[in-house]
Structure 1
Amino acid sequence: MNRLNASLENWLPEQRLFLRSDSTTRFIRLRPVTQLVAIGGITLAFSWTMVASSILVIDAVSSGSTRDQTMRSQAAFEARLDQLSAERDARAAEAVAAQNRFTIALDQVSKMQSQLLASEERRRELETGLGVVQSTLRNAIAERDSAKVAAQHNGTDDFGPLADGNLNEEFSVALDILSGELKQAATQRSEAVEEAERSRIAMEQLQQERDEIIARNDEILSEVESAVAFSTKPLDDVFRSVGMNPDQVLQTIRSGYSGQGGPLTPLSRSSRGDASLSERDVKARQIMVTLDQMNTYRIAIEKLPLAMPVKNSFRYSSGFGRRWGRAHEGVDMAAPVGTPIHATGDGVITFAGRQGAYGNLIKIEHELGTETRYAHLSRIRVKVGQRVSQGELIGDMGNTGRSTGPHLHYEVRVNGRAVDPMSFIKAAENVF
């Protein structure tokens, strides 16, 4: 020590602190080693204070920025989901319009085919009639020739040039009429064939357009299905991270939100049947199921105590787990006496008073089997049976019970079992 004091004498010379009274004078010698130890202790305390303050400031800033970024991401995702839904509805409307146009085209094609068949039948009838007339004409000419031969043989001639001219003229008129009808039928048949061909081309174009719209709808349904499935995974992880079974949570929420009603229409059977459900119908139903699951998750999250009990500046003075050989079933948040304490979720006050080592204690019973405890309070601002909302002021931080300084002992219990409150706090940061 003497050698050490001698080596430090150049930088830290020995100091004497005089204590003078009326009768005596005393002094305290501050050796170089003593001064070095004092300076080191002061420097260490100041450094620890600066580091702790910096950590608190960084945590506050990072938690705020992370929450804002998560909220912006969620808003962007919901906007994208709304955009995809609107696009899907627009494509569905286009598909319905294309289907209507396709149906109209089919009706036009059917009408054209009917007209074509009618004109073809008329042409056949005219051809048959022309054949009958031609056969009758040949028979009449043959009979006329036979009659003329018989008349010449008998020495008489009842058929003169006038009769032959009238008969030929009648047959010519009949042939002209039949030829005109045949030409008109052929023209109508050609027009009907052309119209049917144009209708067929239009029908193929409409069918191709409908197929493209259906393919785009399938693509949109796939994107919506992937987006909804992706959005439910963080919600599922929230409950698993806090030690809760997501299936049981969903079942509990659905049992509480299971009301049905309204007038019932008479039962009718579909001509298509359930066996003819397309892949799009299956995807749409799956999306509705997943959306219902996500909505149920959100209802459940609103019932969990996910908020922070202390909104002012504080520091974590002790975590969850083993401490001094015993189980510490909560987290300690240190701040000055009187710091406001807020409820972390909606619930009912089941205890508000003094309880052993907890000191002044508040217990809040939430839904889904969760309970929160707030201990060592200096003041209790609620009563048993009172219903409180998330963020409501319930008490002030204190130093009551078994405590070494002012702080809040915060516990979260699920079905009576203590769990780490930080899992709820981190889950809230990941979701919101």
Structure 2
Amino acid sequence: MSIEEIYQRFKNSNKVCTDTRKIEKYDLFFALKGDNFNGNEYAEKAIADGANYAIIDEEAFNTSDQCILVNDVLETLQLLANHHRKTFDIPVIGLTGSNGKTTNKELLKAALSTKYKVHATLGNLNNHIGVPLTLLAMPADTEMAIIEMGANHQKEIAELCKIAEPSHGLITNIGMAHLEGFGGIEGVRKGKGELLDYLKESNGYVFVNEHDATLCSMVKERAMMQVVYHGKSNHVLALKAVSPNISWFCEASKKDYAATVSGKYNFDNIQAAYAISMFFNVDADLACEALATYAPDNNRSQMTEKGSNTIFLDAYNANPSSMAASLENFKALETEKGKVVFLGDMFELGEFSEAEHENLGKQVSQGNYETVVLYGENMKYALKHLPKAYYFTDKFSVHNWVNDKKFENKAILIKGSRGVKLETILNFI
């Protein structure tokens, strides 16, 4: 069956689903495979639970007229998503980078939504499966799309661009994330630069922070690209403060605004979202109001009060670059409260892990922190520079220690990789 024929069945279905636990009536089920499961085995159940059709790629499971046998289910999902994308003549913003992708996506969505019907990646569905699912969920009345693209090795962004066909692009930054898969910082630079390669080839636009020398260099290497700079000379917001919350003055609206987030890195994110919304002729005051009221969730850059303690929770992900930015912001925080730092392992660093955790320990040692708590096997390398730090390798011990400590009147930073799940500490503070 051709993609065009499958697309007609998609148009007559409720939605695409890859998990039989979430099947609804008239869904189109894709029997994807994973390391520990074979979706083909669930095709019959999906149909019994109400799916219109089940896309499969193994003949043994072709037991119904409602089964559609293809060569490869994942490839078919991606081709169908691209086919759906081609039916839209709208701006599609491809967004990637080492840090801040989801925050940038949410800020940009907030600002653009004041004028347009915006469809954006839900959560962090930003890989070879998530991007197709995001595209296939795009309603017919969508006026603008923001597609987050994640990658942990080279050629991955290039493949996602083929599926999503972005007309515009934003790289948040080039940092030390997924060093193991990319093979080092130059590999990261090359991998994220695949978005620029696609946009140059397709005559698309890229939005670039003029303060980021690496990104500026990357676009200059690709001569004749269509570049829209921001941060110095184009749609600039005047920063007033970054702590305890970001505030700025907007020349276009002649007003001051205060955000719910803190940190210079988050102001860069706000500045990018503002500049891009101005490019698309959004009202400056509406954009700034939307950016000011944006409240992060899902353990990203969240600030909360618990008793007399102020907690800065950023436990969704961690790598050397994001750790450095969070610590720099926390170090600069003006407060009379004693500062406490909880740091968890950074993952996917490969051969760079020992050196980067040791570098992290050195950076922490230069801050004026009342208490430092390290968690995870790799954090032992940070101890070289932090002889007075508390060090744990099991969560039960951390929880007991925090529970016994009874923190009061402290400013507390909690940051670690997703797999460490340091947010569980909140229950014991």
TM-score by length of structure 2 reads: 0.17
Q: Which of 1 and 2 has greater Rg?
A: 1
Give the structure with the larger helix fraction. Answer: 1
Q: 1 or 2 for the larger relative contact order (CA 8 Å, sep ≥6)?
A: 1
